Amino acid sequence: MVKTHVASLGPDTLAQVSPPFPAANASIDSKPPIIAIGASAGGLDAMEQFFAQIPAVSGVAFVVIQHLDPHHQGMLPELLQRASPLTVIQAGDRMHVKPDWVYVIPPNKDLSILHGKLHLLEPLAPRGLRLPIDAFFRALADDQHERAIGVILSGMGSDGTLGLRAIKENAGLAVVQSPESAQFDSMPRSAINAGLADIVAPPSEMWHKILAYLGHSPRGLHVVPELAVALKGRSALEQIVILLRERTGNDFLLYKKNTIYRRIERRMGLHQIDSIAKYVRYLRENPQELDLLFKELLIGVTSFFRDPGVWESLKSEAIPALLTEYPAGKSLRAWIPACSTGEEAYSLAMIFKEVLAESQGRQPFKLQIFATDLDQDAIDKARQGFYPANIVSDVSEDRLSRFFSVDGSGYRIKKDIREMVIFAPHNVIMEPPFTKLDLLFCRNLLIYLNQELQKKLILLFHYTLGNHGILLLGSAEAIGNAGHLFSVIDNKSRIYRRIGTPFSLNVDFPTKYFPVAAMVEETEKHPPIANLQTLADQLLLQHFAPAAVLVNADGDILYISGRTGKYLEPAAGKANWNIHAMARDGLRHELIGALSKARTQTEVVRIPGLTVATDGGCQTVNLSVQAIHKPDALKGMLMVVFTDVATPPAGKSSRKSPNAAQKLLRAELVQAQEDLQTLREEMQTSQEELKSANEELQSTNEELQSTNEELTTSKEEMQSLNEELQTVNTELQIKVEDLSRASNDMNNLLNSMEVATVFLDGSLNIRRFTSHISHLFKLIAADVGRPLSDIVTDLDYPELQQDAQEVLRTLVFVEKQIRAGDKRWFKVRIMPYRTQDNLIDGVVITFIDISETKKLEAELRKGNEQSE
Helices (H), 497-563: 532-543
What are the two backbone dihedrals, phi and then psi, of residue 428, each rounded to the nearest 5 degrees?
A: -65, -20
Catalytic residue, from 40, 186, 493, 624: name it.
40
Non-local CB neighbours of 810 within 8 Å, separated by 6+ positions: none
| Integer Rg of the chain from CA | 41
Catalytic residue, from 110, 143, 159, 375: name it.
159
Q: State the CB neighbour count (10 A cutoff) for residue 9.
A: 13
Going by the DSSP 8-state scheme, the letter that residue 220 receives in this structure is S
Q: Which residue type does 262 have?
A: R
Non-local CB neighbours of 74 within 8 Å, separated by 6+ positions: 66, 68, 104, 106, 107
Beta strand pairing status for 101-104 and 61-66?
parallel
Is the distance from CB of 37 to CB of 22 less than 8 angstroms?
Answer: no
Residue whose C-alpha is closest to residue 113's, from 122, 124, 123, 121 = 121
Residue whose C-alpha is closest to residue 243's, from 456, 519, 511, 512 = 519
Cα–Cα distance measured from residue 326 to residue 107, given in angstroms and rounded to the nearest whole number: 54
Cα–Cα distance measured from residue 409 to residue 466, given in angstroms and rounded to the nearest whole number: 42
Catalytic residue, from 67, 222, 426, 462: name it.
67
Name the helix (H) or strand (E) containing 382: helix 376-384
Query: Is the alpha carbon torsion for 851, 856, 857, 859 positive or negative?
Result: positive
Cα–Cα distance measured from residue 680 to residue 5, given in angstroms and rounded to the nearest whole number: 112
Q: Is 468 a catalytic residue?
A: no
Q: Is 40 a catalytic residue?
A: yes
Q: Which residue type does 356 have?
A: L
Beta strand pairing status for 638-644 and 617-627?
antiparallel
Residue whose C-alpha is closest to residue 298's, from 338, 249, 241, 262 = 338
Name the helix (H) or strand (E) containing 660: helix 658-753
List C-alpha distances in Å: 565 to 70, 548, 555, 560, 562. Answer: 84, 11, 17, 11, 9
Cα–Cα distance measured from residue 772 to residue 794, given in angstroms and rounded to the nearest whole number: 13
Cα–Cα distance measured from residue 439 to residue 485, given in angstroms and rounded to the nearest whole number: 15
Going by the DSSP 8-state scheme, the letter that residue 414 receives in this structure is -
Cα–Cα distance measured from residue 93 to residue 117, given in angstroms and rounded to the nearest whole number: 8
| DSSP percent split of the chain into helix, strand, coil, nearest 5 | 45, 20, 35
Helices (H), 444-559: 451-464, 532-543
List C-alpha distances in Å: 90 to 118, 137, 318, 759. Answer: 11, 18, 46, 67
Cα–Cα distance measured from residue 637 to residue 121, given in angstroms and rounded to the nearest whole number: 65
Helices (H), 62-184: 76-83, 132-144, 161-169
Give the three-state DSSP class for 487: strand
Q: Is 629 a catalytic residue?
A: no
Three-state SS sequence of 740-804: HHHHHHHHHHHHHHCCEEEEECCCCEEEEECHHHHHCECCCHHHCCCEHHHCCECECCCCHHHHH
Residue whose C-alpha is closest to residue 48's, from 18, 89, 77 = 77
**How would DSSP label each residue in 557-622?**
EEEEES--TTTB-PPSSS---BHHHHBPTTTHHHHHHHHHHHTT-SSPEEEEEEEEEETTEEEEEE
Q: Which residues are catalytic?
A: 40, 67, 159
